[in-house]
Amino acid sequence: MKKEKLFCCICGNEIKKEGCPNYFGNNPAGAMWKDENGNVCEPTFNIDARCCDECDHRYVIPGRLYKLRQMRGGN
């Protein structure tokens, strides 16, 4: 069985995990970050886009938490 390589839609690295041949990354929806000028970047992704674990932790999870706080009316 041959598996096509997956690449992270945020950093471009190959998505893979030791010992997990069927690992296919994370859903990047909700990812947000600030660029070097302090502007918030909130890209939209294709429905089948995947991101690596590192970007999930750096951009996706914080982005979702940020939006959750906004919805609740906090800062």
Contact residues: Zn ion, CB under 5 A: 8, 10-11, 52, 55
Q: How many residues does the chain have?
A: 75
Q: How far is the CB of 41 from Zn ion (least distance, A)?
A: 14
At its nearest, how many Å lie between Zn ion and the CB of residue 72? 28
Can you tell me the distance from the alpha carbon of 39 to that of 42, in angstroms, rounded to the nearest whole number? 10
Cα distance between residue 28 and residue 32, in whole Å: 9
Comparing CA positions, the residue from 35, 36, 30, 40 lying closest to residue 60 is: 30
Q: Give the nearer residue to Zn ion in terms of CB position, either 16 or 66.
A: 16
Comparison of 1 and 18: residue with beta carbon closer to Zn ion:
18
Q: Is 41 helix (H, G, I), strand (E, B) or coil?
A: strand
Least Cβ distance, residue 10 to Zn ion (angstroms): 5
Q: Which residue lies nearer to Zn ion by CB, 12 or 74?
A: 12
